[in-house]
Amino acid sequence: MAKTMETTTGATNVSTVTMGKALNLALHDALQNDSRVLIFGEDVGKLGGVFRVTDGLQDEFGAERVFDTPLAEATIAATALGLAMKGFRPVAEMQFDAFSYPSFQQVTSNIAKYHTRTGGACNMQLVIRIPYGGNIGAIEQHSESPETYYIHTAGLKVVTPSTPADAYALLTAAIADPDPVIFLEPKSRYWMRQEIALPMPPAALDKARIAREGSDATVIAYGPTVQTALAAAEQAAAEGTSLEVIDLRSLSPLDMETISASVRKTRRAVVVHEAPVFMGLGAEIAARVMHDLFDVLAAPVERIGNATIPYPPARVEKLFLPDADRILEAVDRTREY
């Protein structure tokens, strides 16, 4: 249900929308505001995408600006690269997380490097949208967390929203950013609802946010695990423990300023993500915190993630994914020191 509120700056449309719809609105507004924006990928046109994020966009803006591609992810990435070189603002979709792997060479060897390769003469202003993560009852090629591959690649920005409001604001900023952006969409949160007010300004692509303030320990999360961390914080509060929850939003660059300020206050840190613990982003965060804040830490940094195994069958994925109990157990371990 939507309503309109009068503000000092004019009419603001306030609507309760899902994350999927918020992304759809951001794409719609980008297409409307900039004729250079093009949207393409597998089934994004008439079908509106597997998750219906592009629903209705081809009908409104035409098949020349919102169009389907062959089932060839390397070609999708290469097309985005070529269009960006010609001054367009391509927004390409990889239908699922693991489907992005065939495009990896184009992304890491060309898209990420073309700006520096040309001495700054050629910008790579493009966005690659990738639904990622599990908890939707799908098989392994549809439930993976490939963020570390992209974070490790210099030349790319990597961001992920955890709420509908951030989905709109971050995608808007990503499309306007001069650098190539890998935009990771937590598919298990596509149906999460939130009231948002439009028009909404773009979000900074290098800033985390404090999702919940606390004083006893810092829980650092992003994408699908932010709501899990907030659920853990609610349970902890009922037992007298105050958890501060950080939503990273930007995975590369990493907002260490916000992380450090929080950990200096709480003196304890837990990092949680759906990706494997081994070589996950949590390892980098833990290393940075231990190095920079060794003098204030009351306990080693705890990491919560998945085992280093292929994604399991849907019937047991709940046992595989981080949950509130695992976060609370990690918090308890930091308080044993």
Q: What is the DSSP string of 311-335?
A: PPPGGGHHHHS--HHHHHHHHHHHT
Strand 127-132 relative to strand 181-186, pairing: parallel
Phi first, then psi: give them for residue 40, nearest 5 degrees: -155, 160
- Report in angstroms the alpha-carbon separations of 122 from 119, 126, 140, 185: 8, 12, 37, 27
For domain 209-334, the CATH class is alpha beta
Task: Tell me how far apart the alpha carbons of residues 150 and 155 are, in angstroms, rounded to a whole number.
Answer: 9
Is the CATH code 3.40.50.970 the one for domain 2-198? yes
Question: Is 145 a residue whose pLDDT tops 60?
Answer: yes
Percent pLDDT > 90 in the chain is: 91
- Would you say how long the chain is, in residues? 337
Q: What tens digit of pLDDT does each residue of 226-267 get? A: 999 999 999 999 999 999 999 999 999 999 999 999 999 999
Encode pLDDT of 80-118 as tens digits.
Answer: 999 999 999 999 999 999 999 999 999 999 999 999 999
| Spatial distance between the Cα atoms of 87 and 232, rounded to a whole number of angstroms | 46
CA distance 92 to 124: 13
* Tens digit of each residue's pLDDT (9 = 90 or more) over 196-236: 998 899 999 999 999 999 999 999 999 999 999 999 999 99
Q: 3 or 108, which is more confident?
A: 108
Whether pLDDT at 2 is above 50: no
Catalytic residue numbers? 142
The yes-or-no answer to whether 2-198 and 209-334 have a common fold is yes
Q: Which helix or strand (DSSP H or E) is residue 58 part of?
A: helix 57-61
pLDDT surpassing 80 at residue 139: yes
**Domain ranges across the chain:** 2-198, 209-334
pLDDT tens-digit readout, 256-306: 999 999 999 999 999 999 999 999 999 999 999 999 999 999 999 999 999
